[in-house]
Structure formats: structure tokens, C-alpha cells
Amino acid sequence: MRVLHVHSGNLFGGVERILETLAEASDACAGMETSAALCSDGRLGDQLTAAGATVHRLGSVRASRPWQVALARRALTRTLTANRPDVAVVHSDWSHALFGNTIRSAGVPLVRWMHAADPGPAWQAWGAERAVPALVICNSRYTCRGSQGRFAGTPRAVCYAPVVFRRADRDEARAAADLAPSTVVILLAARFEACKGHLVLLKALALLRDVGGWEAWIVGGPQRDEERRRLGDLVRGAAAAGLSERVRFLGERGDVQSLMAAADIYCQPNEGPESYGMSFVEAMGAGLPVVSTDLGALPEVVDETCGVLVRPGDAQAISGALRQLIEDPVGRRELSRGAQARAAALGDPDARFRDLTDAFRSVLDEPLPRGSVA
């Protein structure tokens, strides 16, 4: 089965990690051949190409520049005609609005992979509604429930993301980081979006200054101006709280799996709902107990066998959960074992690839849904 993913490609986050995983594991994807059509050059296209996927470049596109949209649509039409994928998948309202009807006009079943319950900007949501998909895939039950009002009558499937766990050697990873054997490392690896809870974590860590033997690693690089400002505020906040020697801002890293292997706890205290949370599953796969907040899809991902969920925005509760895990290595090890088992059940590549393949196959013999075609 040939699957073409049509995507912007200018940022790198959970959606892009899914595409990378599909490309890397294409040989084991139950016959699923992954390719992509992207509107931006950069990290995603480079990594998909390195993983062996075919990447078609549609050219730079800004929706406010109609000539760029027209050129990209023509480029996509040529790609669809020359390569004839069995299905084409869009991952956001932006790509759905701009390219949904181009895909439908080419006679290729359109699949919308829904990664968030809330719609995008009004014009994007309106444009997406005018290109009715043959199937909606939701990344969690939370997203499925929250998006029921969209694309009414279109079949839906909930498919968790496949995760390929690359477990690094813990002793080697900790030696490379020059860690003392007893040091407990608290890790957060996420984009610098306000909803990811960086500020809450910093407040919680400030309440742990009396506890010895821990340090925190904050991993990720800002991708937008507002994220750069947020990072600057966090660095200054850590210094003002007297945490500069205990909180490391490690920037964008290509060795996150090694950092997870060296760490002991994953703490991402979201202030906004997570529609799924691949970073949580990856961290649990590395054996990290999770401390986070009871929001969005996280109750689907994190249970009492592998972590602790507290009220959103409650730095005191986050601090208390971290304190208990730092001071109780036996309990931490028990949750570590539970985290690995939970991650294996959620992200098992073979099972998740079968789910996706079954979902895609469900539309191959079905007529395209009725709807306007621009």
C-alpha cells in the first residue's frame, strides 16, 4: 500500500516524529510504503530522506500568496498523477484546506489524521470542511471525542502512534553526561510552547532546593520568536531562583534517547491538554516514571503503574510527586518497570502499523464521500 503524507514540514514535533517513525520502519509496516509531499525544506524532509522515504517538494507556500498556493497544488497534482498513491493523508487544517480538494480531484482517497481536537484558524477549518475526507483517523480517544462535530458522517478510527524504542545503554549515557551514580535526573523534552508546562516545572524545582542529589535537564530548541522569548524568560527565572547550577538547558539534541537513558524521571506538567503525547510514551519506553497533569489524553497514556498525574498548574503537587520519587528509589524502580510495560502496550510498532493499515484499507473500495470540489 502506497501512502502519501501531504504536510507543511516547517516545524518539528509529534506529527513529524510519527512520519519519521513510519519512514524508518517502512519495511515492517505490513507492506505500507511511506512517502511525503512537503512545502518546506528543513529537518523533516532531510530525516525522511535519510530514512529511505521519497520526499516530493511542493515549493514554499504561504496561504496569503495565492500564486504560491496554485503552484503547490499543480506540483501536488503532478505527484499524484505520476505516483498514484493508494491514499493521501493530511495532518492539519492548513494542509487539508489547501490541498484536500486537489487530492480528491485526482481520484485519490483523502484521509485526515486528526492530531488535536480543536480546529485551526477559522479560514483553515472552513476550507477543510469543504474537502470531505473518506476517513478521519484520531490520535486518541480524547481527540475523537473532542472533534465529533467535524466531518459529521465520515467514518472514524482511533489509532495510537507507533513508537520505535531505541534504548541506549544507561551506564554509558550517564558516564557521557558526567553524572554521579546517585544523581537523580529529571527530564523534560518538548517544544517551548506555553502549554508544555516549563514554567510550572521551574516553580516546582524551586520548592526542591532543600533536597540534594538531583538535577533537571530541559531539552529542546525554540522554533519561533515567541518560543525564543519564553526560553530566555526560563533561563532568567532559573537564575533568579538560584537553580542555574541544577537546571541545564540542553537545546535541540539529536540524542534524546541517550538523554532519556541517563535520566530517572520524566516531568512535563502540561498547562494545556495534550492530544496524545508521544514524548511521554518514548520516555516511558526508556523506563522513566512520568509526573504530569490530569489533562487531555494523558489519562489514556499514564496510569498508576507508571506515573503520577496531578491538577494542572499545581507546582506544589508537582514538587511533592518529584520529591517522593527522588527520595524513594525502590518506588521509582517499580514505576520504571511499569512505564516500560505501558509504553510497549501503547506504542508497539507491529500492532500500531496493523491498525493504520486496516484503517487505510477500509477506504480503498469505498466511493469518495460527497462534498464540494473546488
Based on its alpha-carbon atoms, the radius of gyration of the chain, rounded to whole angstroms, reads 21
Residues 364-374 have pLDDT tens digits of 865 544 433 32
Angle, alpha carbons 346-348-351 (nearest 5°): 100
Ordered by where they begin, the domains of the chain are 2-162+350-361 (3.40.50.2000), 170-347 (3.40.50.2000)
- Phi, psi dihedrals of residue 37, rounded to the nearest 5°: -120, 115
- The model's pTM: 0.86
Residues 337-357 have pLDDT tens digits of 999 999 999 999 889 999 999
Q: Which residues of the chain have pLDDT under 70?
A: 26-30, 365-374
**What is the identity of the amino acid at 146?**
G
Q: How would you classify the pairing of strands 214-219 and 110-114?
A: unpaired
The pLDDT of residue 366 is 57
Contact (CB, 8 A) for 183 and 155: no
Contact (CB, 8 A) for 103 and 127: no
The pLDDT of residue 74 is 97
Can you tell me the distance from the alpha carbon of 331 to that of 128, in angstroms, rounded to the nearest whole number?
Answer: 48
The pLDDT of residue 365 is 64
The pLDDT of residue 370 is 42
CA distances from 201 to 37, 107, 278, 316 (A): 37, 49, 19, 10
The pLDDT of residue 372 is 34
CA distances from 34 to 28, 47, 132, 154 (A): 11, 13, 23, 24
Residues 87-143 have pLDDT tens digits of 999 999 999 999 999 999 999 999 999 999 888 899 999 999 999 999 999 999 999
- CA nearest neighbour of 314 among 233, 201, 211, 234: 201
Which residue intervals of 222-293 are DSSP H helices? 225-240, 256-262, 278-285
The pLDDT of residue 25 is 75
| In 306-361, beta strands by DSSP E | 307-310
